[in-house]
Amino acid sequence: MLSICVWKRLSEANPKMPPTLIVKCPKCSGYMLTTKGQKTKICPYCGANVNLQKAQRIAAANTAFEASEILRKLKSERGFDRKP
């Protein structure tokens, strides 16, 4: 697993990367990260093939690090944080 510092540095290293989006799976309501312009993605929770053009967008971020922080907060609010 990458440390937060390395992850942040990698995500900010390429300014040409498209924004990172957080979308919601229409089948299981799980959150997933994707890049703007990507058309489909397999949900990591239920295996559904998600059309990202039609999926509900929850948030957008300029870097993958920002998006992962938003996603961590959303999951924590839903009770899916890693803390015992």
6-48 pLDDT, tens per residue? Answer: 555 555 555 677 899 999 999 999 999 999 999 999 999 999 9
Which of 37, 42, 33, 38 has its CA nearest to residue 64?
A: 33
Q: Identify the burial level of 56 via C-beta atoms within 10 angstroms of its C-beta, where 0-12 means exposed, 13-18 middle and 19 or more buried.
A: exposed
Residue 57 identity (one-letter amino acid):
R
Please name which of 20, 31, 24 lies closest in space to residue 67, comparing C-alpha atoms: 20
Judged against a pLDDT cut of 80, whether residue 51 lies above it is answered with: yes
User: In the predicted model, is pLDDT for residue 71 greater than 60?
Assistant: yes
Give me the pLDDT at residue 35, please: 92
The domain limits of the chain are: 4-77
Residue 57 phi, psi (nearest 5) = -85, 125
Neighbours of 15 (CB within 10 A): 7
Q: What is the CATH number of domain 4-77?
A: 3.90.820
